[in-house]
Structure 1
Amino acid sequence: MSARTRSVLATVWRQVPFFVWLVALWMLLWGQFTALALVTGIAVAVFATRVFRLPPVELSGRVNPWWLVVFIVEFLWALVRGALTVAWQSVAPRHPGTAIIAVQMRTDDDLIMTHVAVTASLIPGSLLIDSDREQRVLYVHVIGVRTDADVEAQRRDISRWEARIVRALGSRAQVDAVRGVIS
């Protein structure tokens, strides 16, 4: 096998997880896990990956099952807590304060930044409004803040989400970069 063939196969192999994710996303969007949804999902994934050429995303190749479970449990807890908090704020007599905060990412990885942005947006009470890829900054709109201490607490929470995601999916160098963040 030639070096060029090995290189092409390695590139294709690295893209398999994203291809599988596109097919799964298609099936989730349709709410069907049938053979027809699988076939149409594959067709859409092939079309999307051929028409919309994106640069290949390099995975770290490392998944820590323990930290992945910790992330999932803490994420589910944050969903419940966030929903209850937002529900309380909607009926509370005092109007909750809002803020747009900038959160500096510690890692230099587009995939990790995307995971953090999606996680922050899925938790009720916060929403990603912009990201600066070059500076590695996420801008997040949050509710329920009244003081500078509340803003800093929200910023720390998002930094903790980055640390959790990196511990679950990041490379060794990324784990070292977030080591000081308490989860």
Structure 2
Amino acid sequence: MEFGTTEEVEVIMKNRSNSYKGDILNIVYSLDLSCNNLRNEIPYEIGDLNGIVALNLSHNHLIGPIPRTLSNLTQIESLDLSYNKLGGEIPSELSILYSLEVFTVAHNNLSGKTPEMTAQFSTFSNSSYEGNPFLCGPPLSRLCSSNTESTNTSATTSIGVNGDDGIDMTAFFASFAASYVVIFLGFAAVLYVNPYW
């Protein structure tokens, strides 16, 4: 699509808004699909958009894992996947995106270890990952352990697949049964102490 000199487009990239007008629009490659009520998984074919500079899929209802094919976006400078329902681990392949300046996967259901704090990933703060209770590792304060990672991965998988909004049904039934036993024993103790009731 060729743009003329009169068209003007507002592009939000790298957490700031810019207006572009004229011939520059023919070389700005940005895809902003935020706040569109998108559902299902991110298509792996999105990794074929290798000339894209900014990709914003935030504030949707996207589920499933982050596609490893996003590592093909070698020109990308801004990647926003926040406020979705994405699950699984953050692909380690994303660490080869050396042009990446803005990265956020905040407020999803991601689990496991954050990407290694090398190259551009050493510049991303806690805010890039916040709102993912099963993520661990720097820059987050939650440390990873082998038990934590495997437990959190299975818990996140069950949340994402079953859609039960974070309720661990095994723990729920166990606590229900324990409460029932305690109430029964308490009632029996009262009747033992005061047999006239």
TM-score range, shorter chain: under 0.3
Q: Which protein, 1 or 2, shows the higher relative CO under an 8 Å CA cutoff with sep ≥ 6?
A: 1
Specify which structure has the higher proportion of strand: 2
Specify which structure has the higher proportion of helix: 1
Kindly name which structure, 1 or 2, has the bigger radius of gyration based on alpha carbons: 2
